Each structure stands twice: as C-alpha cells, then as structure tokens.
C-alpha cells in the first residue's frame, strides 16, 4: 500500500525545510525553516510523535 513521505530540502538561503507528501504525491504540509539539516530531521520526528494524537480545532478569524 502506498504511503506518505517526508522530503527534506535546502533553500537558496542555506536553511532547510521539510514537506509532507500524501501517497498520491500531493503536498499536505510544509515546515518552518531550520538552520541545520539535523534540526529539520528533529522537526520531522516531532510531527511523527505528536500528530497521531493531535486534536483538530476550528480556527476563528
């Protein structure tokens, strides 16, 4: 069964970001910038650890 994936990439500024792609290739989330690749990978681990139990809230504008 196809699975989603995280992609780590470096911007022209030298900072790193990750994006989460669904199994169909659609980008469903993009991260903040990180100064190092190591910090970016830690950000991915944080999402993996926290998202399964994340509460869904309605944002009010």
Where are the chain's structural domains?
A: 5-48
State which CATH number among 3.40.50.261, 3.40.50.970, 3.30.110.60, 3.30.160.160 fits the domain covering 5-48.
3.30.160.160
Q: Pseudo-torsion of CA 49, 21, 55, 60, nearest 10°?
A: 140
Closest CA to 47 of 25, 31, 27, 23: 31
Q: What is the pLDDT of residue 7?
A: 98
pLDDT for res 51: 86
Within 10 angstroms of residue 37's Cβ, the number of other Cβ atoms is: 14
Single pTM value for the model: 0.83
pLDDT class for 60, splitting at 50, 70, 90?
Answer: confident
CA distances in angstroms from 2 to 23, 31, 58, listed in the order given:
5, 22, 30
pLDDT in tens, 14-38: 999 999 999 999 999 999 999 999 9
pLDDT of residue 41: 98
pLDDT at residue 1 is higher than 80: no
């Amino acid at each position: 069964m196809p699975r989603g994936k995280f992609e780590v990439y470096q911007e022209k500024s030298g900072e790193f970001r990750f994006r989460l792609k669904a199994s169909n290739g659609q980008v469903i989330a993009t991260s903040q910038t990180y100064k190092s690749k190591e910090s970016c990978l830690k950000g991915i681990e944080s999402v993996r650890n926290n998202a399964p139990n994340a509460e869904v809230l309605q944002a009010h504008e």
